[in-house]
Structure 1
């Protein structure tokens, strides 16, 4: 029988490797593909025994951090690599290469913002991603001479401590990201609190956030917790929290990392800016914020300190002038200065964002479509009541700016429509309170339309407050409602329906759009929220508009024509890309047109 050219496989001294253990090791090292890592996280969450094995493997890896590094001879690396040929390419070719590799390995003592996507990298195993094979080979050789094999075998076979810690005491693998993020979550109640922090009056206009498009992912620049704050100490800090606070942090972490990648990156930048700001406060100011009793009080305290910081940043002479004013004058002056500052900042940000399109003289969405352009201009005419003397909503300056922007856009064309689009967008946001649909029946325009309540509003202060709005929809109805709500409940008159508060009370085509386009997109809880405000005006109409904007549906007559998301992306204050609402991108631009002479 001819001899086989391939020698028979020799029996191995090593036990066969468990495929599941190989997969766990790859997960702990961050080497699993994204989809497989997610599957492993789901399996870990559902299988206590698998979690126990993973934690045991992690503890084994953690020992590498505590073992002393032996002094190696100069030719140690060469001799080691000769014994492990497959690893020769991993050796640094020069001292500078080795330094570059060391520089690329992140510190395990710093809290790290986890990547938006990808497998979970645990802090104590990060450095193994580059050096694990070389170090394991060297470590095995060293342990062989030191009798370390017995130590390693003892660690691998050691049973879990008994009694086993409870779930609240021993963080699960899925808690590792949360614990690393713990320094960021200081002073954050929940996701709704974080969303409030994203408003311009808090941190939405922070340079760390606003100029973030070209920056790397949020990474807590300048914020360094005490050097003694190790991962183990963060675990202890987490354990000391009350169970309800632990649960709240888990929910915050889960909701934050469930966001769309662009929105998640934006919120991480907000979190970064807030944590950095907190770290720079004086200790008494930091305690003042962290000791707040609830979300509303914490937001109020953040606002107070930021306003004080804003005032202290003004020129000294201006500070003196403001302090010399009465309390009410000081409030109005600061409000006016901040409003002007915000307007200038947003205008400059808008121009900077669209510099390329403006330079290329491109017509922006939606004005590149002539039919949609006409619909927008007609919407503005009706929404701002430009052709109804005595009923105009705009101030004289606003009307002048609007007319000038429209005239320039129609005459010059091209990128001049950017200015008009921003003017329409800003005005529609300012007067959004009045963009309410009229009822199918006669709207309430006068005291005589109030039925038995007419007598109440035809005399005294009620008459003085509401009379200036007679004949205006919905201004008159809103004035009646506002005045009634300002009274003690026992003194309020019984009012008739002031506006549409159910689907059947709305006019066409609004009713049809709600039935055919919006309602099918609503989730069960959103439908419940809408049903809960039926019969309440204007709450019902505003709830409709809120859900329509969320699902990118434009409601005729009460919202700008075209995609609400496109309007927000192009003309809103928030930046597109990181920081834009979920799914937002610039709508496509038509080709550039020649500059008109």
Structure 2
């Protein structure tokens, strides 16, 4: 906080003090005797009050940690450079003595400069808008969009390497159906906020928005640690939605055993409304309380109940290898899990992960390893 107060004071002095163009700080120009004499002459021409302010500022700056001081110095250098490139007419407003007027003038100038960087369609819309409030609303809207775009770009850059990002986008373009099915299945097994983000990003990416493509890939990569459960896109999310026979069995047990009721409150209730977490929590609760449900909670406990792409995976990647040790082990895992949920879909995913196999639609598509440049 102290550093930013110093910066604010420094900028106020900079706009109020005419300075010579600052030399490149990476060169030795700052040590040029002529440059130093000119700066000294400017300093001595200032009022004693202004000189004292600059001395105080210099002292406070050098009391800061080196990294922090250098950061603020760079900001001041950029500000001076911006100020010196400004037309004389505009600079006169910014160097006004009234601090409130000066701040307003700086903001207005920065807004004008930012407006010039906007797409032609935006500039034309702004010029065609005569009402001051409507103009302000347009600027605010575009600034928010610009900030959001920068945040999304930063997110994408910091969550995956450029090489893999490019490879993923190329794969996404070449295998749209494969990626789309993974996005849909993943979005059905994350929370509401994440689901909306994924679907909105996917929609924008399909229209060719490059930044949205990068962010979509980054978010998919970030969420890919989740092991999805192949099966229906939705299921039981609340206690009242459980089968009536099962509810009656649970209520009977909870009347006799207070720990069962406490277990429901602590271990199941937190997942209310979430799919498939709520159903998984109910399944674990039934095991703890030794309640055998009349039927599996979710109809996804055999090959015939699996989605078409998962059936093909079982047939082509597991059953065709029944003569190998790996194939025999995988088939045994599936047989032991049949009729149980979430055990059966979990077994499928565990087999795939253990044998480095890919379940289409339920795992993030694999990417080619980037080629290294030959030396």
- Using the size of structure 2 for normalisation, the TM-score is 0.41
- Using the size of structure 1 for normalisation, the TM-score is 0.28
* Larger RCO of the pair (alpha carbons < 8 Å, separation 6+): 2
Normalized per residue, the structure richer in helix is 2
